[in-house]
Structure 1
Amino acid sequence: MAHPVDVHVGQKLKQIRTLRRHSQTDIAQRLGLSFQQIQKYEIGSNRIAASRLFELAQIFDVSPAYFFEGVNGANDSEVTPCNTSTTISKALAAIEDETVKTRIVTFIEDISGMAVGRQG
């Protein structure tokens, strides 16, 4: 049975991969792996080695700590689910109209405060 932290890290990998619009094959090729290995990472059935996690962080231009965001620090075996983020990522990826997708992303950035320096 997969450890909850491995499952969480895999979910974070899938989340950022989907948000950045990369396929499992794209990431696998950059790492010299098969897409099946990326699938196993994403479901948590295979652990991601620290060196591989570092490479993934470089590919996505995030801190390695990104993959652990949401893990409950009080008990490492408990993981805070990121179902809302995953659901939003999947829904956004399913939108085919790029103009609509861009408007939604802009809206989310505006209400989250991420677009502070952007002129509207």
Structure 2
Amino acid sequence: MPTTDEKKPTRTLNRANDTDRYVGARIRERRIMLGLSQQQMADLIGVTYQQAHKYERGINRISAGRLHEISQVLGVPVGYFFDGLNNDHSSDLSPRQRMCLELARNFSSIVNERHQDALSQLARVLAAETV
């Protein structure tokens, strides 16, 4: 018989962990790159806005089938969500990464193709100046 001083092994029962948060952050990053809102993403994968939000925050775990569906909607292989997981980098985005994601989201929101082309040309000119 175990004594009261012995500790039982602890298990996580369907609780999200660092991997879940990392995968959620990768989903959010890709969604933003594509210019999708959380509501649009939720509609595309057939869940509520709240559920999509919980997936991205790593609060709720994502089943294998749902992750496959998300990969299809976002146009990436399932492995994309795990790329870089074993690196020592934090899943938090740097200010520069946040700026790039915001730029991509804003660019995809521009409906006028001439404006998109003009912005793209401006970026090329500015990038060439720094070289």
TM score, norm. by length of structure 1: 0.70
Q: Are 2:44 and 1:30 equivalent residues in the alignment?
A: yes
Deviation at 1:102, TM superposition (A): 3.3
SS state at 1:21 partner? coil
User: In the TM superposition, what whole-angstrom CA distance separates every residue of 1:11-46 from its partner, at most 9, and x where no partner exists?
Assistant: 100001001011111111122211111110111111
Which of the residues 70, 88, 97 maps onto 2:100?
88
Q: Provide structure 2 residue ranges, at least 5 long, that are not aligned to the other structure.
A: 1-14
Which of the residues 19, 22, 33 maps onto 1:19?
33
Mapped partners of 1:20, 1:26: distance in 2? 11
Q: Are 2:60 and 1:46 equivalent residues in the alignment?
A: yes
Alignment check: 8 A CA contact 2:35 2:106 kept: no
TM score, norm. by length of structure 2: 0.65
Alignment check: 8 A CA contact 1:4 1:79 kept: no
Q: Alignment length, in residue pairs? A: 104
SS state at 2:69 partner? helix
What percent identity do the matched residue pairs reach? Answer: 28
Aligned to 1:68: 82
Q: Provide structure 1 residue ranges, at least 5 long, that are not aligned to the other structure.
A: 111-120
Amino acid at match of 1:88: C
Mapped partners of 2:119, 2:18: distance in 1? 32
Mapped partners of 1:88, 1:60: distance in 2? 18
Q: Bigger radius of gyration, 1 or 2?
A: 2
- Alpha-carbon spacing, 1:93–1:80, altered in 2? closer, same or farther (3 Å): same
Amino acid at match of 2:17: H
